[in-house]
Every structure is written in structure tokens, then in C-alpha cells.
Amino acid sequence: MNRVSIGAQSFDAQELQFLDRIHSVQAIGATVLSARRANIESVNIDLIFGLPGQTPRQWEANLEHALGLGVDHVSAYALTVEEGTRLGHRVSAGEVEMPSEDILADLYGIATARLEQAGFHQYEISNWAATGHQSRHNRTYWEYGEYLGLGAGAHGFFEEERYENIAHPRQYITAALAGPPGVIAEAYHPDRATAVIDFLALRLRLLEGF
């Protein structure tokens, strides 16, 4: 193993609380340090922007903190609202107001400018890497390559078949120990039209396109 991805999401304690994350800001730095001590060659930090009320200055501070840790790769994703989640219920009830598309565009622009200034090359919509540190794992997805999904709830794509494993960890373990038919909860072969659409949609995420 030569790469780890750390789901920091934010370096702001209040933002972490809003996101229901249980780790602390200090724990993020300690995790990066542990990865370096283990001689991990490439360390990625995941960040989330577009939180309700998040200011450009707060987002800039998150980026600076990540860069200050000396990571090799940054993934930055806009916060999305999923139905059935706690945030989804709060937004539907009018308790939380999500930022506008214009605000999201401004925050995204801040990330692009700052990371490029720091020497990171943007190679995908949400990913920036120092030279030699692009994620081969992620590129496999976007280039419509095969990958194995191991573990509860994991997704995989192998021999033109997409599959999803049993989501509940205990049920997954029980199924794995029982043997065939195994841990796959659902599997299907995309038809040609679906495969073409998937290929186009995934490749469009790469800045190099096709």
C-alpha cells in the first residue's frame, strides 16, 4: 500500500460538529503524521465545501490547513443533501438553508486558484495532485476500468458486471463465512446504451476529457 485518503472534511470544529463527524481537528494532523511515519508515499485529504453559512475565509482556512500538513493530494467536494438523512430533513423543514449555486462556484474557484498556486495540478473535477501523486485508484473509475469492491456495502465492476455487496456488516460477515452464493446483494450487466452513457459521464469528469 502506498496511498491513504483521510476523510478530514473540515479543519473547523464547528463544521465538523455540523457534519456529525466524531474526529477532532487534532486527530487529522495526527493521522497524517502517522501515515508519514509509516512511509506512505501519497497522502490525500478529503474536504467538503458549501456548508450552510460557510464563508470564503473559512474555506480558505481549511485549504491552508490542509496544505500546511504537507499532503500530496486534495479532494474537494460540495456538500450534497441526500433524502432520508438528518441534513435532508432539516433542509426540508426550513431549518437549514443551503448556499446558492453562485456561492458554490465562488468557493470552488477559491480552491482551484489556491491549490494551483501551491503547485497542485487539477486533473479531475474534484481532485488536485502534486506531481506524481494522481490517484490511480480513482482514475480507474473515471476511465471505465475494472475494480473490486471488498467489504460491507462496497461496489465493484468486474468482467462487465456491476455489483453491490451486502450493506450490513454482520450480515456481510455471516454470508462470507457461509460460502456460496457469497456476499453480493445485487449484480447486473449494463446494456450497451447504459455502458456508453456511463463511459461518457465518467470520462467527462477528467479535465483531459476523452
Q: For residue range 12-67, what is the model confidence (pLDDT) as tens digits?
A: 999 999 999 999 999 999 999 999 999 999 999 999 999 999 999 999 999 999 99
Q: For residue range 154-163, what is the model confidence (pLDDT) as tens digits?
A: 999 999 999 9
Whole-structure pTM value: 0.85
Domain range list for the chain? 3-134, 141-203
Contacts of 198 (CB under 8 A, 6+ apart): 144, 190
Question: What is the band of 210 on the pLDDT scale with cuts at 50, 70, 90?
Answer: low
Q: For residue range 95-124, what is the model confidence (pLDDT) as tens digits?
A: 989 999 999 999 999 999 999 999 999 999
Domain 3-134 classified CATH 3.30.750.200? Answer: yes
